[in-house]
Every structure is written in C-alpha cells, then in structure tokens.
Amino acid sequence: MKNLRRKTLAAASAATLGVGLALSGGLAPAAAAGPDTSYLVLAPQGANTSKAAARVAAAKGTVVASYDQIGVLVVRSTNPDFATQVAGAGVESVASTAGLGTALDEGETVEVSAADVAAATDNPTTEPLYGQQWDMDMIHVPQAHAVNNGSPNVVVGVLDSGISSSHPDLATQIAKDKSTSCIGGVTNTTESAWNPTTSDHGTHVAGTIAAAVNGVGVTGIAPGVKVAAVKVVNDDGFIYPEAAVCGFLWAADHGMQLTNNSYFIDPWELNCRNDARQRPVWQAVQRAIRYSQSKGVLTVASAGNSNYDLAHKITDTASPNNGTPENRENLTNACLDLPAEAPGVVTVSAVGPTGEKSYYSSYGQGVVDVTAPGGDTRYRTQGVRSTTTDAILSTTFNTATRTNGWGYKQGTSMSGPHATGVAALALSAHPGMTPGQLASFLERTSVAQSCPAGVYNPVPLISPTDPDLYDATCSGGARNSFYGAGMVDAYNVVK
C-alpha cells in the first residue's frame, strides 16, 4: 500500500480581510468583523432554500448564488460566528470553503515552435500536426471519422480554466451561448470571463475533444461536436467547491450531455464524508452531480496523478496541498476522490504510447471504469529524462504572451478528455442514450487490457534515492484496477 503522493502546482491564496467600522466617541464598539468568507449552506434534501436564506440574513450573511434545484446557497459573510448562528430549522449543514480550493494539477506545457508548426505537412487530407498525435491512432480516431465525426447537437461542458475563443482550431467549436465563468459560485457569461487568464489547461482539454478539421494544427476526437467553456479555475489556479457546484448545474440547465472534469475538489485528494468540515462539501457536490444526471448529463472525471490505489485507501500524509500537510491514517472508503469516485461518474486512468499504465496514473479496482491515452514521457528512459513527444499534443494558449498555439501535456487530465470525446462520438451516432446507458456503452465498446505481471514500475530510475517510488500492482481480470473495462475506442462506438 502507498501513502498518497501529490504532485501539483500550487498558488498562494489569501482571504480578503473585512474592513472594520471606525469608532467615534461615545458609541459602543461595533462587533469585530472577520475575514470575508465563502460558505456553502445546505437546506434539507428536497426542501426549498427560503428558510435557509432567512437564517443567512439573520446571521449577517449575503446570498451570492442560490441553487434551489439542489437546495444549496453560496454565501459570503464577515461574521466570525456565521457558521454557528446560521444553524437551525431550514439549514441541514454549513461549511466554510476558505482553504478548500485545490490547486489545478496541470503540469508543464511544452509548446511546439512556430517553425515546427509551419514545417508540418503530414497528410493534406487531415491536419498538419496529426502525425504527432499518436493517441488518435491508438483509439482508432481515423476509422471513426470515416463513419461519424460528431454531431453539433452534442455539447460537451469543459469544466476547467476556460477556453481560448480566438484559437484557430477552436473558434468555430465553442458554444458561446452556453459558456460561462463559475468563479465564486456565480455565473458570468461575458466572453472575457470564460476565456483563460492564467492557465491553458482548459484550452488543451478542449482541443483533444473537439479541435476542428480545418487544415490547421491538430484534430480533435469529435470535431463535429461543440464544447462549452465552464470556467471553474480561478486566477490563482484553485478550484473551489462552490465553482464546481455552479459548473455542474450550469451544464445541466443549458443542454449539455457531457462534462469533462480534469480536476479534484478540496485540498485533500480524499474528501471524507465522516469529517464534519468536509461532509457538507461532499453533500453539495453529490447533489449537483445527481441533479446533472437527472438532466441527462454524463460526468467524466480523471483518476488523478498520484499513482495511488483508490480502492485501498490507507494513509494520506501529503494533503492538504494548500497548507501544512496533515497525517491522516486508517482512512476508509468514506473518503472519496471527488468527482472521480462519486456514483455514476465515469473515471478514467491514463496510458502512454505502449498502452500500459502511465507511471503517474492513479488506479483502483471498482473505481477506474476505462482507460485512455494520457501520455508517459518517462517510459523510454525508465524515468531518467522526458521524451516530450510521448505526451499529448493539443491546442494551447500562452498566458504570458496571450498567443494561441499547440503543445504537449501529460496526465490523467489528458486521458479524461479522450474518454469524453469518444463518449461524444457515441452520442452522435446513437442519440438519446441516458447517462447510465452511455456509460455502459462506453465500457462495453472498450478494448480489454490485461494486467501486467508482478509489481509494475516503468520508471525505476526516476528517483535515485527511491527506485520503488512508482511501484504499483494491478488486480483483477478482464476488468481490472489499472484499466477498468479497457481502452476506449472511437471506431467501436460509431460503427
């Protein structure tokens, strides 16, 4: 068994301090204001939020977003006793989300130079950079496109850091009328709000799903479908629970059939239902996902990049990732990776160019549903150095120069959109499937991958002091802990 190892990019985040009232002679001092803090306030399941909203006002809070569909309010307050005072009839639970933003695990982008883009020709009937998209051949995208390359009636919500609306491979692919920012749990549909600001992660994800076949750059798995930018990552690179809840509900209420979620919620990769502080977050996210499922949305999520066996949770010594790590031992299955382990979610592990589990990919029997290309830049050298072209090539946006381009990333953040793109093709070829039917179809059409024998570690030289750092053991048969039901296959879902 392994302790949870986190490898994320973290950005510092500070709460905004509330401004105290100036005192004047003869007046009693005003109550001290605390930090301006966000809260999730949950009404009892099935109840409306009117009583909860009244209690919020009485406790000196302000409702900034009301999600009556699931009985959840997003609230801000400078009252240091807000959580205590809001409790009562009409409020099932409350949790501050301060400190609960998790850093997006986006890794490094290696851009393709302008000269290399200009020199790329490949097959003129496809895309100039297609020859570097080994992942597309692995899941039989060319064969699928000969049958069906996607329907514009299928809209995929990319819950991420925004999508560049000026990118030449994406400008025609974005459903602008269905795009929004959900930062702070509040929607903002202006185009600038849902474009990327400090991260190109969402732009890369969107390209894998639906980059246009237009003689420029790369191809997406389902270039005929549309993607919607649902921005849930703030400028510090954090994903807060209220933004994720907003994103799920926005997708559900705006006609999307799929959402791609290449992130996890909370600074702890494992969100424990039996933890008083984390339980309200778990409840709110679970309600949001259930609601989206009821509206016909299938949620696809990445398994994570910790090489962690999610089916055998033991100890977490490296979380939270935005503060001092705590030593949490004897964890149980009450602790979940959200949204990956929420019921009804399709969870995706990653493989490299050999089709074997990427060294970093988390796994778990009964947790991973399918696998897909996510890249593995270390397998050729057993971990000594990286081979960039073994990562995933897709669309990029340089946030420093504000320019569009193409580049490489790797991670389960990249394998998730491969599965989402294949699911979008499946819906295009077989419209009308419910989320459950689509998830089952995706698994049935996947190609089974066998477990490697013994202890698996393709990168024993990655750490001179710890050659066993990435050891992992696969369990199961045709459906197993590394690959679930198998490799997604674009041709199998459309033929």
- Reply yes or no on whether the pLDDT at 301 is more than 50: yes
Summarize pLDDT for 53-63 with one digit per residue, the tens.
999 999 999 99
Whether 292 is catalytic: no
Paired tokens of 486: 């198998």
Q: DSSP code of 357?
A: B
Among 3.40.50.200, 3.20.20.70, 3.40.50.300, 3.40.50.20, name the CATH number for the domain at 103-494.
3.40.50.200
Q: At 27, is the pLDDT very low, low, confident or very high (cuts 50, 70, 90)? A: very low
Listed by start position, the domains of the chain span: 103-494
Contact 231, 181 (CB under 8 A): yes
Query: Which is the catalytic residue, given 66, 413, 415, 428?
Result: 413
Number of H helices, E strands in the chain: 12, 23
Q: At 3, is the pLDDT very low, low, confident or very high (cuts 50, 70, 90)? A: very low
- DSSP-assigned letters across all residues of 170-190: TTTTB-GGG-EE-GGG--B--
Quote the CA–CA distance of 313 and 306 in Å, as a whole number.
Answer: 12
Average predicted confidence (pLDDT) for the chain? 88
Q: At 18, is the pLDDT very low, low, confident or very high (cuts 50, 70, 90)? A: very low
- Tell me what pLDDT residue 267 has: 57
- Tell me what pLDDT residue 385 has: 92
Q: Which residue has the higher pLDDT, 64 or 9?
A: 64
Angle (CA) 262-265-267 rounded to 5° is 120
- Reply yes or no on whether the pLDDT at 7 is more than 60: no
Whether 413 is catalytic: yes
State CA 262 to chain mean position distance: 2
Contact 347, 484 (CB under 8 A): yes
Half-sphere exposure of 55 (CA within 13 A, CB side): 22
Distances (CA, A) of 124 to 121, 137, 173, 410, 456: 7, 17, 21, 27, 40
- Tell me what pLDDT residue 468 has: 96
Quote the CA–CA distance of 121 and 316 in Å, as a whole number.
Answer: 48
Task: Tell me what the mean pLDDT of segment 250-275 comes to.
Answer: 83
Whether 122 is catalytic: no
Other beta carbons less than 10 A from residue 130's beta carbon = 20
At 62 the three-state DSSP class reads: strand
- Tell me what pLDDT residue 358 has: 98
Query: Which is the catalytic residue, given 135, 160, 169, 200?
Result: 160
- Tell me what pLDDT residue 13 has: 27
- Reply yes or no on whether the pLDDT at 134 is more than 60: yes
- Reply yes or no on whether the pLDDT at 212 is more than 70: yes
Summarize pLDDT for 97-132 with one digit per residue, the tens.
887 777 676 667 889 888 888 888 766 557 999 999
- Tell me what pLDDT residue 281 has: 86
Query: Which is the catalytic residue, given 201, 204, 254, 418?
Result: 201
